[in-house]
Amino acid sequence: MNVQKITPILYVTEIESCLPFWVDRLSFNKTAEVPHDGRIGFVILEKDGLEIMYQTHDSVAADVPAIATTPMGGSLLFIEVDDIDATETALEGIAHVIPRRTTFYGATEIVVREPAGNTVIFAQFGNKEAEGD
């Protein structure tokens, strides 16, 4: 297994007030935005190949209730890998927070908690399972 990318997901009450800091002050670009209940539920911000994501507590609770128990101010670690099967093998014996799944954005994911209790999402893009083959 080779780790290809690590992207922090900051778990917040609301996203809108965070955007000026990243977009206006630090020149990040909003590359994806997902609404939730009339507000922004999820956003990806990018600059020079670096990414940071924000997701609201309410959006997480609606999407993946099993990880919505992370305390306020917690974060989720999103790690993109090149081989989800090898990752799953490496994580054998670690309880999954949710079963392996294919997401609407085309990733196959495994979600676990690391020993300190932080939620870690391992994702592979472009694999046959995620493409529906």
Give the mean model confidence (pLDDT) for residues 64-92: 84
pLDDT computed for residue 46 by the predictor: 97
Rounded Cα distance, 117 and 100, in Å: 19
What pLDDT was estimated at residue 70? 61
pLDDT band at 131 (very low <50, low <70, confident <90, very high): very low
- Compute CA distances 12 → 16, 90, 91, 126, whole Å: 10, 30, 28, 29
Report the pLDDT averaged over residues 11-30: 91
Res 85 pLDDT > 50: yes
What residues does 51 pair with on adjacent strands? 46
**Residue 3 above 60 pLDDT?**
yes
pLDDT of residue 71: 63
> Tell me: the pLDDT tens digits for 31-77?
999 999 999 999 999 999 999 999 998 999 999 888 887 665 567 88
Mean pLDDT of the chain: 88
Question: Among the residues of the chain, which ranges form H helices?
Answer: 19, 57-63, 84-90, 128-131
Give the domains, in start order, of the chain with CATH numbers: 6-131 (3.10.180.10)
24 or 31, which is more confident: 31
Q: Is the pTM of this model over 0.85?
A: no
